[in-house]
Amino acid sequence: MAWDTTESDALHERALGFVRAFEAGQAMPESFDALACDLARFQAASIPGVARLCVARHADPQRFRAATDAPAVPTEAFKVSRVATFPEALTQVTFRTSGTTLGARGSHPMRRTSTYDAAALAFGRWALTLGTPPLPERSPVLVLAPSKAELPDSSLTHMMHLFAGAFGGAGGDADFFIRDGVLELVALDARVSRALVRKEPVLLLGTSFAFVHLLDAVGEAGFRLPEGSRVMQTGGFKGRSREVDAAELRRDLASALAIPGRSVVSEYGMTELSSQFYEGTLAGHALAAGVYVEPPWARVVPVDPESLLPVKEGEPGLARIEDLMNVDSAFAVLASDRVRRVAGGFELLGRWPGASPRGCSIAVDEILGPS
């Protein structure tokens, strides 16, 4: 019997309504909580693990009135359970977390990526191309990361290809400068030199440690980008060999690349989400580095690590992330990151030390059910 996509498709269209309104500068088409509760009901009815979580928490989906009424699915659950409303045969792509020494990789199946793509492009354009002056349309997009040919199941690589195609008009492997784990500095230098001659600002995307390797490679010589260029860096600051301070990396990048510090924009996202968050240093102007902004279709709520209830304003807590673009998985995700609400957005305070917080561990057990 064929799986009926009608309800899912309708929810996707409602989610896309938020993106379209944002791009048009209009009011959102409905309240965040209204769509969040409908997503939570759909997911509880379609995903056995989410249904078990609701039962264990005595949370009746039919009585949900606010997004926070619905239990959040820990990111650890994506490693041990299939979090999807649809049968496997309808999977368009499965994004997977990076491999770790712990073995299991989290998986996020998607039935349709068009919703993910629309949201990523809309908020990425706002965070990375606006400002004074804005980044010119069709600017070169250069990526310090492997291409899809090497990492076909990486959501970050997928997003970077989107940006290369939409903002730079390319998106081919020629704009990706890490191959077989090696930074192709000569090819990158030639591409940047061409942009310098043409006075074309570039958008340089990369992971934190790709930029560390770039800085190590160029040393005191620097690597000047054309005036008006922007940098997006993403990922953690703890590598296999050493840990890098976020503020120090920003200063070093701005100095080596000859761009203002506010033009180095950090991105925060994860495989288990369909939305991303950015520092508002360019688009927000008044926001300080380290303050991340949510799009209108996502919320970050700090919660107590044991009760999983929201903490008082300004207090740190675990990141409960509500993402209306996660139509076919879990609209509310519980990460092991510590966050704090501040004026204009939220701050990242690092990972929860040691093992998974007790609240996360209990929630995973509840999703899996009796052994």
Instruction: Judge whether 118 lies within some domain.
Output: yes
Q: Is the Cβ–Cβ distance between 27 and 40 less than 8 Å?
A: no
Q: How many domains does the chain have?
A: 2
- Whether 20 and 133 map to the same domain: the answer is no
Gap between the Cα atoms of 268 and 294, Å rounded: 10
User: What region, left, alpha or beta, does residue 333 occupy, with left being phi > 0 and alpha being psi -120 to 50 degrees?
Assistant: beta
Could you write out the three-class secondary structure of 186-239? Answer: HHHHHHHHHHHHHCCCCEEEEEHHHHHHHHHHHHHHCCCCCCCCEEEEECCCEC
Residues 6+ apart with CB under 8 A from 183: 144, 177, 210, 213, 214, 217
Among 296, 316, 335, the domain boundary falls at 296
- Whether 83 and 120 map to the same domain: the answer is no
Look up the domain containing 45 and give its range: 6-90+361-368
Give the largest Cα separation in the chain, rounded.
Answer: 65
- Whether 171 and 289 map to the same domain: the answer is yes
Note down pLDDT in tens along the chain; length 371 residues. Answer: 468 999 999 999 999 999 999 999 999 999 999 999 999 999 999 999 999 999 999 999 999 999 999 999 999 999 999 999 999 999 999 999 986 545 678 999 999 999 999 999 999 999 999 887 899 988 999 999 999 999 999 999 999 999 999 998 655 556 899 998 889 999 999 999 999 999 999 999 999 889 998 999 988 888 899 999 999 999 865 554 556 778 888 999 999 999 999 999 999 999 999 999 999 998 765 688 899 999 999 999 999 999 999 999 999 999 999 999 999 999 999 999 999 999 999 999 988 876 566 555 555 566 666 64
Residue that the structure tokens 């860096």 belong to: 233
Question: Rounded to 5 degrees, what angle do the CA atoms 359, 364, 367 make?
Answer: 125
- Whether 81 and 122 map to the same domain: the answer is no
Residues 6+ apart with CB under 8 A from 115: 12, 15, 16, 274, 325, 327
Q: Given this model, what pLDDT does residue 170 score?
A: 59
Q: Given this model, what pLDDT does residue 101 score?
A: 46
Instruction: Judge whether 26 lies within some domain.
Output: yes
Q: Given this model, what pLDDT does residue 361 score?
A: 53
- Whether 77 and 123 map to the same domain: the answer is no
Helix (H, G, I), strand (E, B) or coil at 284: coil
Gap between the Cα atoms of 357 and 308, Å rounded: 10
- Whether 130 and 270 map to the same domain: the answer is yes
Residue that the structure tokens 């770790």 belong to: 100
- Whether 242 and 150 map to the same domain: the answer is yes
Dihedral of the CA atoms 308, 339, 97, 39 (nearest 10)?
50
CATH number at residue 122: 3.40.50
Amino acid at 47: I
Q: What is the DSSP string of 299-333?
A: EEEEE-TTT-PBPPTT--EEEEEEETT-TTS-SEE
Q: Given this model, what pLDDT does residue 371 score?
A: 42
Q: Given this model, what pLDDT does residue 243 score?
A: 64
- Whether 60 and 165 map to the same domain: the answer is no
Among 272, 296, 320, the domain boundary falls at 296
Instruction: Judge whether 335 lies within some domain.
Output: no
Gap between the Cα atoms of 113 and 117, Å rounded: 6
